[in-house]
Amino acid sequence: MRYVDEFREPARLRAAVEALHRVTTRPWTIMEICGGQTHAIARWSLETRLPKGLTLVHGPGCPVCVTPVEVIEHARRLAIDASVLLCTFGDMMRVPGTGGDLLAARAAGADVRVVISPLDAVELARARPDATVVFFGVGFETTAPTVALAIEAAHRLRLPNFAVLAAHVRVPPAMAMILDAPDNAVQAFLAAGHVCTVEGTAAYPELVRRFEVPMVVTGFEPLDLLEGLRRAVLQLEAGRADLEIQYERAVRPEGNPLARAAVERVFEVTDRRWRGLGVVPEGGLRVREAFARYDAEHRFGRPPAHVEEPGACRAADVLRGRLHPTSCPEFGRGCTPERPLGAPMVSSEGACAAYYHHRRIQRHP
């Protein structure tokens, strides 16, 4: 497949690994923010090919992982309401709320549907006037535009029975929070390529200046990641802190104006609790007052009170990059994808699951 195969080509991969080794003379710690990148790093065993001393920290960029338990529980309770038909992306089906997961709710009679696009949920609302169709809107800047379009479509169709449970999160404020922590060890970022495809790079120059941290907007193929790392290391070695775009074939500095406009029309920035990080100032999106009738929180009330994590799960440390997944005492023992203790083991993009699926024969050094 064009734009994929050439970015996985073995000879080019080897050359990119060598190039990274050539420019690295000192130990550095770099965080890739996006779960898709974490997954690709594990999938292509890139960590085993890094120069000695170059440490990757896996950031909190998995939408399933950062959605708080109480929000998942809120969705589950809505689902078991007989008048509600809950639509969700597939990843959320197996993430437990306090009362179990959506798969169990469905088995107990709740009407829960996996959809690929939020617009499918609007179609369902049109076909099922007897039910209130609630779309569970999770995800970063990448999923917000289609959810915004779904709300606008419902508005245009005057559908009284469609609502969104909005749990959307924004990446740059979380990066600021990580950099601002007193024990932060991250020296450079690979910024999330697809988030920037939508949002552009306007938020980053200020972070680069304020924290003097190199930032390379990076893609998701192994060659992208190796090149993103090489550019970040080059900056670190030279004592520079700049914003660079490695993922040029998809990212423009201004992002996708149509998608941004749709988000801007329907959502507004709000403080939001991230699982593992706490409340991130300006870290989320909520439905604007003008569209309140499509806001599930407006219609059904707020989520239950904040729930603390179960004791053994160290998701908070993993999501902040303080603990490598394979160094967790529960990894692969008390916590597996079949019986996850926390969200990073459930989602395909969760750091723990990425390591469990691809790398559990090697313990992390």
Partner 1 sequence: MSDPIELSCPSPSTGYERVVLAHGAGGRVMQRLITDLFIAAFDTPQLHRGHDGATVELSPPIAVTTDAFTVTPRFFPGGDIGSLAVYGTVNDVAMCGARPAVLTAAFILEEGLPLPELRRIVESMAAAARRCGVRIVTGDTKVVEHGQGDGVYVTTTGMGTVVAKAAIEPASVRPGDAVLVSGPVGDHGIAVLAAREGIEIETALRSDAGPVHEAVLALLQADLSVHCLRDPTRGGLASALGEVAQSGGHGVRIDEASVPVRPEVADACELLGLDPLRAACEGRFVAWLPARHAARAIEILQASGCERATTIGEITSEHSGVVVLRDGAGGERILDMLAGEQWPRIC
What are the structure tokens assigned to 169, written together? 């999160």
Per DSSP, 4 falls in state T
Binders of partner 1 in range 133-192 (CB under 8 A): 138-140, 142-143
Q: At 55, is the secondary structure helix, strand, or coil?
A: strand
**Could you tell me the smallest distance in angstroms from the CB atom of residue 63 to partner 1?**
5
Q: Which is closer to partner 1, CB of 103 or CB of 234?
A: 103
Using CB under 8 A, count the residues that bind partner 1: 44
Q: At 282, is the secondary structure helix, strand, or coil?
A: strand
The answer to whether 354 touches 43, Cβ cutoff 8 Å, is yes
What are the structure tokens assigned to 154, written together? 């419902």
The answer to whether 102 touches 79, Cβ cutoff 8 Å, is yes
Q: Does 305 bind partner 1 (CB under 8 A)?
A: no
Taking contact as CB under 8 A, which single stretch among the options 70-78, 261-269, 314-322, 332-340 is the one that binds partner 1?
332-340
Q: Does 118 bind partner 1 (CB under 8 A)?
A: no
Q: Does 334 bind partner 1 (CB under 8 A)?
A: no
**Could you tell me the smallest distance in angstroms from the CB atom of residue 31 to partner 1?**
19
How far from the centroid of its chain's Cα atoms is residue 185's Cα? 21
Instruction: Tell me how far apart the terminal alpha carbons of the chain are, to the nearest angstrom.
Output: 35
- Beta strands per DSSP E along 109-265: 111-114, 132-139, 162-168, 188-192, 215-218, 243-245
Q: Does 9 bind partner 1 (CB under 8 A)?
A: yes
Q: Which is closer to partner 1, CB of 61 or CB of 214?
A: 61
Q: Which is closer to partner 1, CB of 213 or CB of 230?
A: 230
Q: Does 126 bind partner 1 (CB under 8 A)?
A: no
Buried b / exposed e across 224-238, counting CB within 10 Å, b at 16+?
bbbbbbbbbbbbbee
Q: Does 106 bind partner 1 (CB under 8 A)?
A: no
Q: Which residues bind partner 1 (CB under 8 A)?
A: 1, 4, 8-10, 13-14, 17, 36, 42-46, 48-49, 63-64, 89-91, 93-94, 103, 114, 116, 138-140, 142-143, 194, 222, 336-338, 348-349, 356-361
